[in-house]
Structure 1
Amino acid sequence: MRRRATCDGIRDAVAASIAVEDRLADDTVAGHVALALDIWRGADFTERNRSTGWSWVPFVSADDSPDTDETRAARLTRTYGLDSAQKEALAEMSKDPLGQIAFVAGLVAARIHAYPAWELPFFDERNVRVDLAAEVRAMAASAVGLRDQRELLGRPPIGHLRTDADVVGVYIEKARVLDRRADSLVERLQAFADYRTVVAGIQRREDKRHWFERVGEINDLEHAVDDVVTRSEVERIRRVAGDSATLAELYLDTLAPLTASLTLSDMTR
């Protein structure tokens, strides 16, 4: 239960760090999650994102060109739509006590990889860049190994074996060894999640720095001068408006006698 709670907490933290508009559809996964899934189900991740060419034609093999740094990076950077079998395998992995470790490791790696700050040379210059794919491979492979070992150990002895002290003693010891290994694997996952938190903090600082750089282009002195000029123009226009009103009133007052005389003249005609 403790391992499940830890994995769920990390998973929730990763989900909360992703903006709604950036979340993937339920049938789509990031490259690092696909890597974990393929290791869990025994598939070859290197077959993803490769050209099939004329491989559908009999006697023509698929693309056998060697992997390069570029193709490996592209394979991890892209997202993958899952077919029904892969979706079922992913659901089973995420629910399995050991598979969930591999699954969450993929989620953590994918989130780190998605931060723009991850491209900063800082991580290389300070020698603090973690190989995300290697971490996922290591944890997923360990989870698979533990799964196989637990299947080999099986359920507690039954029948006459459950009363055999030697058998029960060996079973308990083997079970404890596997439990300790699972605990250490979750600790590694937690450390990986803590690393994601550090990268997220660097991303927040980068966002803040970019914001200040952008608003720093606003010239405070220039706008202060413009503000004074604008306010003086406002006062000038108000004075002109007031003068215009006064002059208009005087002008209308001078027109009043003339208007009256013209009106009287019209009436006497």
Structure 2
Amino acid sequence: MNYTSTFDPDIVLKVENLDITYRLAYAGMDSLRNVFIKALSNPVKLLFREKNQLELLKGLSFELKKGERLGLLGVNGAGKTSLCRTIAGMHGKTPNIHLRGVVRAIFETSVVVQPELSGIENAKILTNLIFHNHSRNDREEIVKDAVEFSELNEFIYTPFKHYSKGMKARLFLSIISARPSDLLIMDEVFSGADTFFNEKISKRVEDMIHDSGAVIFISHHNDLIEKVCNRVIVLDDKKIAFDGPTSDGLEYYLSKTQGPAF
């Protein structure tokens, strides 16, 4: 991953001929699930691939400009989350990705950082990880605001291992939505949050999206894609199958997923 100022100043992200390949020994459960999905769709191709290699995406190229809200669509196993994690730098640096500014990514809102610690202690850990480039005073303010916004009340002092999925989502979303960024990546951001909190967090997340430079948004809810995004990319068969306006992208995706070809 390169942080560069040599390309168009309106471009926040530039991906050039990107391949994502996992060694199965280190791929984890999600990648093994992908193997089974690909085996069902094309068993011969999987049989003759390079041993212990899982090729998720091949030759991807696209740009993301300021003001763009990109919805990323594809069936389970298409590589959406892997692409976003690679862009966020979670799989190490790659020369195929060029970024400008601060990238902030939200994955798995019910994540457990330290299950034995309390909610407030985990809030501090998460804030230090996510907002490491902010001042100490600002991080303390983020924790204070997130605890109040989450409305967990006395449960904030309860060990995280006793939290429900919705409670974890409340705390994590309250933290991550505290500040905008140059590139914001959101993967199933509302997953796990209860109905009441979803209504409350929606406005806050909308404000964060509006104030961020560019957004990559993953959701299985097409109404959210339509509401949040002004552009859609559909991933299929390791490549970009569609890149264009949101309404056209949703129509294309639905036509493929509802038929035998996808």
Looking at secondary structure, tell me which structure has more strand per residue.
2
**TM-score (norm: length of structure 2):** 0.19
Tell which has more relative contact order, 1 or 2 (C-alpha 8 A, sep 6+): 2
- Greater C-alpha Rg: 1
**TM-score (norm: length of structure 1):** 0.19
Looking at secondary structure, tell me which structure has more helix per residue.
1
